[in-house]
Structure 1
């Protein structure tokens, strides 16, 4: 099993990280794909952190009708095939979709734009962060927060000085997972955002496109993705090792 899992990865690294790596990385198409992925995944992660953290805290600390159902529904994008996620986004935000006409009247066009890439990445990656963040908020006794309030701390002070530091390893782990999922997103992005060079063509889409013409960029970009994936896994192991 170990040989089966590792051999293709090693072969890919051997073929991809050859002497022409720097030359290929300077190619406009490769640089454009790396730039699009860096910008969109960074934006998607920011949106996920800002909107996902309150949702995770709400699910961890509050009891309300429908909480269990909401919790399950928020995990749904993790198990949906990426192509299905792309179809759902297109039917909702596309020009002829549910919200397409109101958005068009407001002068907003989402489908087949960089914003569509970000939406696809948030849709498929945010549940990973919310799940990890919720575990972080559940990992310590709420009485710690209550004690801070008794000592005179306000709600925001308690959250910033007590809750966030205690949950931080989980939040960091969730952020890394969400970013990695965004970086590898393919199906939903292809259907909802297309593959326009310099606009919506991320690294996975560039690999798919290069496989039909020039193999070298596809191999090098694939090797880069392997290195990044290993870096993500190593980071998660280090975080888990430091977790109390």
Structure 2
């Protein structure tokens, strides 16, 4: 059994999760501070969550393809994103970003506003309030969102196959490998990859539920 789909999936999911962790938390923090156009910004950032993954992949293909501005710029340096390992990471990051963003935003909005107001009256800057109050008090929810984003990135298929293709040993993730195995009539191989994905996803959900119970316990206290 070739384990490259597992390695490619894990590498793409881990890097994508790191990216969405940073960008998702930052975007959530900025959105909670908005007074105008908050709904519009939230809708744009959440859009990949409600669009079909193939549509997301199509937009990424238009945005990052060789004929796009980004593609032409990268071609000057002999770099191409489409059908590359970077494409699997980008596709996974884009589709998992809304989960991290929404979870972090929900956690920030549930914080006790009086605590933040008191911190401001004591002279703490917004930066220190974010690092010393908002993040620590939202840690369990943020970690649950991180695990959920990782699981989503690990199972990404539609955007990946549109942007990265199906190149064995290079861009063929586990989800794509399942599709290829079914298309080839190799149900045994498909069952193997499905089993691996189900186990990883199930463990991720157990950890996420545990973290959510911890957060509920803190709120209750």
TM-score by length of 2: 0.90
Which residue number corresponds to residue 162 of structure 1? Answer: 133
User: Which one of 19, 33, 37 corresponds to residue 47 of structure 1?
Assistant: 19
SS in structure 1 at match of 2:138: helix
Which residue number corresponds to residue 95 of structure 2? Answer: 124
Deviation at 1:149, TM superposition (A): 4.1
Deviation at 1:79, TM superposition (A): 1.0
Segment drifting more, 109-118 vs 204-213: 204-213
Which residue number corresponds to residue 177 of structure 1? Answer: 148
C-alpha RMSD of the superposition: 1.7
Which residue number corresponds to residue 107 of structure 1? Answer: 78
User: Which one of 54, 61, 65 corresponds to residue 83 of structure 1?
Assistant: 54
1:1-244 equivalence runs, <5 A: 27=1, 29=2, 31-64=3-36, 66-211=37-182, 212-243=184-215, 244=219
The runs of at least 4 aligned residues of structure 1 exceeding 6 Å deviation read: none
Aligned length, in residue pairs: 215
CA offsets, 1:24-72, max 9 Å, x none? Answer: xxx2x2x1111101111011001111111111001113323x2211111
Query: Could you say which structure has the larger radius of gyration?
Result: 1
Deviation at 1:238, TM superposition (A): 1.5
Q: Structure 1, unaligned stretches of length 5 or more?
A: 1-26
Segment drifting more, 141-150 vs 32-41: 141-150
SS in structure 1 at match of 2:172: coil
- Alignment partners' CA distance in 2, 1:169 and 1:239: 5
- Alignment partners' CA distance in 2, 1:155 and 1:124: 30
Report if the CA contact (8 A) 1:136-1:169 is conserved: no
Report if the CA contact (8 A) 2:144-2:209 is conserved: no
